[in-house]
Amino acid sequence: MAQLTCENLSLGYEGKSIVQNLSFTVNAGDYLCIVGENGSGKSTLMKTILGLLKPMEGSVTTGDGLAAREIGYLPQQTVVQRDFPASVREVVMSGFQGSCGLRPFYTRAEKRRAEENMEKMGITDLADRCYRELSGGQQQRALLARALCATKKMLLLDEPVAGLDPMVTSEMYALIKSLNREGITIIMISHDVDAALKFATHILHIGDEIFFGTRQKFTQTRMGMGFSTLRGLKK
């Protein structure tokens, strides 16, 4: 049974459709990269999966033991969010807010798990630092630790390496891949086709043409062969 099923989705704003008749499934342990042109609806799709937006048509359902509130999310950061005046520990702990309900405190188990996630992201020594004083890469690690506090099953990542230098980008991709190897399902929006073709098990391309399938099948399509050609030219 699929962890996530999107069926006949039509997405858009104010009655204007961006994507129509989009259907795909994501199983436990998949690594899905969503690619496509700017404005094709990638972030809109992610917000719809999270329940932040309603689809114009179609449905989004979770299964295989995954509840909608168990999906971790790493959004694109705004300038205001990068300047957030809280400690790294506070930012990471806020990942539990969706499961706390009206409870005004964090449990001992949640605090322990936050520490474990900071250690996993290599930011334990930054726990008491102010978030806005961190580098871009350190902030993304903190946000990834935060997202892990919300889930042990599925992560949605919206351009997680945007604005990072090549070395930090490589480190972030390695961290994400290691989480996937541990069994966490990854759904990632990316403009980095090289990364998509290197790490993903499945590709979803949205835009004028829609494709969903394995990475191998994507490379055999006209779109995929075009990306592969561009990839070869870059090397």
Q: What is the pLDDT of residue 102?
A: 56
What is the Cα gyration radius of the chain?
18
HSE-up (13 A, CA, CB side) for residue 70: 14
Q: What is the pLDDT along the chain (235 residues), one digit of tens a residue?
A: 899 999 999 998 777 888 999 999 999 999 999 998 888 889 999 999 999 999 999 999 999 999 888 899 998 876 656 777 899 999 999 998 766 655 577 889 999 999 999 999 999 999 999 999 999 999 999 999 999 999 999 999 999 998 889 999 999 999 999 999 999 999 999 888 888 888 999 999 998 889 999 999 998 888 777 665 545 434 4
Q: How many CB atoms lie within 10 A of CB 51?
A: 11
What is the CB neighbour count within 10 angstroms for residue 169? 18
Q: pTM of the entire structure? A: 0.89
- Which secondary structure element, helix H or strand E, spans residue 60, and what is its range? strand 57-62
For position 141, what pLDDT does the model report?
94
Q: Are 46 and 158 in contact (CB under 8 A)?
A: yes
Q: How far apart are CA 160 and CA 222, in angstroms?
A: 27
Q: Alpha helix locations (H) across the chain?
A: 42-49, 79-82, 88-93, 97-100, 108-120, 136-150, 166-181, 193-199, 215-219, 222-234
Q: What pLDDT score does 71 carry?
A: 92
Q: 76 by DSSP, 3-state: which?
A: coil
Helix (H, G, I), strand (E, B) or coil at 197: helix
Contact in structure between 175 and 142 (CB atoms under 8 Å): no
Strands 202-205 and 4-13: unpaired
pLDDT of residue 235: 45
